[in-house]
Amino acid sequence: MAQRQAMLDAVGEQVGPVRAVRTVRDLDADGVPVRLYQDGADPATPVLLYAHGGGWVLGDLATHDGLCRLLAAETGWAVLAVDYRRAPEAPFPAAFEDIDVVIRWLRGHGQQYALDPTTVAVAGDSAGGLLAAVTARRERDAGRDLAAQVLICPVLSPVTDYPDLGNEWLEPQEMTGFWDAFAPPGVQRHQPDLDPFLADPAGLPPAVIVTAELDILRDEAERYAARLAAAGVPVIATRYQGTFHNFPRKLALTHDAAVAVAQIAAALRALTRRQ
């Protein structure tokens, strides 16, 4: 697919030189490819399970390698990036199934990689933000609470009535196309696994939600932050002014990217200290 290759080809220009971390390993998590980033030497490191963005159609471990490296270096947490199956070849619920497999694998095999499977947070950018938010709710419903959820410019509603902000990074018709690929005709979109607003937010893990002023997904993410806060969920929600959709991945294009990663890192470090 030409769009996938174009996103990959743009990594050098958008992300720039990547941060060196102590260990980067490609692993097989019971059939799902994952990449594990570890920068510290703690024998039991908390884990940030990461779902990449790209409209559930684009993106992979390579496009998000720079961001995951920086997250591992700045947070002190291990980052476990999931190479979930993508639409349209594998539409909903394939990505969720892959994340479920990885979480089970992590809980069963994490200790052999110096990971602490009892302290796991979930994170995702853009379309991966939906995967992260829904995973947090599914884990809560199963009685397996996560430590936190980090949602970066997330997709959080299947309602595709987007404002036109004149932003080339994500346009309304593009996002509508991503939804059509991920949840094609015949899939009921108004269910909690595709519309987190339909789920009870009480008892969800603490959230860090990053939004961008010029992002068509800004309003739905900020409504979700307000919904969590109203239910008593601790929330840090920050709108970065003058910037664009999914800016934290594009480390070479804006200083705000590093600032947002530092904010996420501070929140996760504070969470670790409280435990």
Give the pLDDT confidence score for residue 76 in this predicted structure: 94
Active site residue 157: no
pLDDT at 273 over 70: no
User: Is the distance from CB of 245 to CB of 214 less than 8 angstroms?
Assistant: yes
Beta-strand (E) ranges in the chain? Answer: 23-29, 32-38, 45-51, 78-82, 115-125, 149-152, 207-212, 235-240
Cβ neighbours for 101, distance < 8 A, ≥ 6 positions apart? 29, 30, 31, 32
Residue 3's H or E segment, with its range, is helix 2-9
d(CA 13, CA 250): 9
In this predicted model, what pLDDT tens digit does every residue of 46-99 receive, in sequence order?
999 999 999 999 999 999 999 999 999 999 999 999 999 999 999 999 999 999
Q: What is the pLDDT of residues 160-191, one digit of tens each?
A: 889 878 777 899 999 999 999 999 999 999 99
CA-closest candidate to residue 261, choices 253, 271, 252, 249: 249
Measured CA to CA, the distance from residue 236 to residue 233 in angstroms comes to: 10
Taking the C-alpha atoms of residue 34 and residue 180, their distance in angstroms, rounded to an integer, is 26
141: phi then psi, degrees, rounded to nearest 5: -65, -30
Q: How far apart are the first and last CA of the chain?
A: 45
Higher-confidence residue of 270 and 15: namely: 15
**Strand 78-82 and strand 32-38: pairing?**
antiparallel
pLDDT on residue 275: 52
Number of domains into which the chain is organized: 1
Mean pLDDT for the chain?
95
Burial of 242 (0-12, 13-18, 19+ CB in 10 A): exposed
For residue 187, give the CATH number of its domain.
3.40.50.1820
pTM tops 0.95: yes
Enter the DSSP assignment of 248: G
Q: Is 167 exposed, middle or buried (0-12, 13-18, 19+ CB in 10 A)?
A: middle
Q: What is the mean pLDDT of residues 17-43?
A: 95
Residues spanned by the domain of 113: 2-274
Q: Which single residue is written with the structure tokens 């696994």?
A: 193
What would the mean pLDDT of 137-160 be, rounded to a whole number? 96
**What pLDDT, on the 0 to 100 scale, is given for residue 274?**
56
Who's near 105: CB < 8 A, 6+ residues apart?
29, 30, 32
- Out of 119, 126, 246, 254, pick the active-site residue: 126
Structure tokens at 97: 């199934």
